[in-house]
Structure 1
Amino acid sequence: MQSISDPSLKRYTIAGLIFVLITGTLAHFAYEWSGCNRLLGLFFPVSESTWEHMKLVFFPLLLYSLFMTHKLKDSYPCIRCSLMCGIITGTFLIPVIFYTYSGILGRNYMFLDIATFTVSVIAAFAVIYRLTGKCTYNGKCIPLVTVLLTITVAVMFAGFVVFTYAPPQLGIFEKPAETTAGSFKSLFFNYS
Structure 2
Amino acid sequence: MFYKNKNNKILKSTIIGVIFIIIVGSLLHFTYKFSNNSPIVGLFSPINESVWEHLKMAVFASIFYIIFEYKFVKDYANNYFFAKAVASLSTMIVIPLLFYIYTSFTGKSILFIDILIYIVACVLWGIINYKITSSKEIYSNINGLGIILLLIIILSFFIFTISPLNLPIFKENLSNPNGLLIINNLINNTNI
Relative to the length of structure 2, the TM-score reads 0.83
The alpha-carbon deviation at position 98 of structure 1 amounts to 0.8
CA distance in 1 between counterparts of 2:61 and 2:14 reads 14
- 2:171 is aligned to 174
The alpha-carbon deviation at position 176 of structure 1 amounts to 4.5
Deviation string for 1:25-70 (max 9, x for gaps)? 1000110111111110000000000000000000010111122222
**Worse-matched range after superposition: 10-19 or 47-56:** 10-19
Relative to the length of structure 1, the TM-score reads 0.83
* 1:43 lines up with 2:40 in the alignment: no
Residues 4 and 132, structure 1, Cα contact 8 Å, conserved in 2: no
Q: Within 5 Å, give how 1:109-120 maps onto structure 2.
A: 109-120=110-121
- 1:59 is aligned to 60
Which residue, out of 148, 151, 156, partners 1:154?
Answer: 151
CA distance in 2 between counterparts of 1:92 and 1:123 reads 11
Amino acid at match of 1:33: F
Amino acid at match of 2:170: F
Residues 84 and 146, structure 2, Cα contact 8 Å, conserved in 1: no
Residues 28 and 57, structure 2, Cα contact 8 Å, conserved in 1: yes
> Judging changes above 3 Å, is the alpha-carbon distance between structure 1 residues 178 and 124 closer, same or farther for their aligned structure 2 residues?
farther
**Worse-matched range after superposition: 21-30 or 87-96:** 87-96
Secondary structure of 1:59's aligned partner:
helix
The alpha-carbon deviation at position 128 of structure 1 amounts to 0.5
Deviation string for 1:106-163 (max 9, x for gaps)? 3221111111111110100111111111131xxx2342x4444333322211111111
Secondary structure of 2:4's aligned partner:
coil
Structure 2, unmatched stretches of 5+, are: 177-192
